């Protein structure tokens, strides 16, 4: 009798764990979809107001989260910063080095990133940018 009760409790706990796990995953997926939708909405609104100018193919979220640390208010000026030889936000630096930056401004990346990580890395950065964006070292600023 006790063994039957213990087996029954074990089965109930197992099914409960599976149910909770499935709902948790669904909840995470729903929350992720909501997060992406909200992020895109914020970026769209900021872009319309002229306050979102990212240097990536898929715009960053760092500037939304970290301002006023990187910019003033909720604003992204990474595109302007890169073009002026200033470093973009940390997320953009990482994404650029992975090859996800806007290829139309790739010639500016090494100089801008070197401004943050140190000019002693400028030559290595040019090689990385050359490999990631299929441009020559001579084409870079």
* Three-class SS state of 77: coil
pLDDT digits (tens, 9 = 90+) for 20-74: 655 566 799 899 999 899 989 988 888 888 888 999 999 998 888 776 655 556 7
pLDDT confidence tier of residue 93, bands split at 50, 70 and 90:
very high
Cα dihedral 49, 53, 54, 59 in deg (nearest 10): 20
CA dihedral 135, 90, 65, 132 (to 10 degrees): 20
Among residues 112, 46, 110, the alpha carbon closest in space to that of 79 is found at 112
Q: What is the structure's pLDDT at 23? A: 59
Q: Does the structure show a pLDDT above 80 at 120?
A: yes
Asked if pLDDT for residue 10 goes beyond 70, the answer is no
Of the candidate ranges 39-43, 81-85, 92-96, 131-135, the one whose mean pLDDT is the lowest: 39-43
Residue 66: the pLDDT is 73
Residue 67: which H helix or E strand, with range? none
Residue 1, class by beta-carbon neighbours within 10 Å (0-12 exposed, 13-18 middle, 19+ buried)?
exposed
pLDDT at 65: 79
Contact present, 97 and 130 (Cβ < 8 Å): no
For residues 117-140, average pLDDT? 97
Q: Are 106 and 133 in contact (CB under 8 A)?
A: yes
């Amino acid at each position: 009798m006790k063994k039957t009760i213990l087996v029954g409790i074990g089965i109930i706990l197992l099914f409960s764990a599976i149910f909770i796990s499935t709902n948790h995953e669904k909840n995470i997926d729903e929350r992720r979809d909501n997060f992406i939708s909200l992020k895109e909405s914020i970026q769209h609104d900021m872009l319309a107001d002229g306050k979102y100018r990212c240097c990536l193919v898929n715009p960053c979220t760092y500037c939304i989260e970290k301002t006023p640390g990187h910019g003033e208010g909720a604003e992204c000026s990474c595109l302007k910063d890169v073009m002026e030889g200033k470093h973009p936000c940390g997320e953009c630096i990482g994404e650029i080095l992975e090859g996800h930056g806007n290829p139309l401004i790739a010639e500016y990346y090494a100089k801008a990133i070197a401004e943050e990580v140190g000019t002693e890395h400028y030559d290595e950065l040019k090689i990385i940018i050359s490999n990631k964006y299929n441009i020559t070292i001579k084409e870079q600023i």
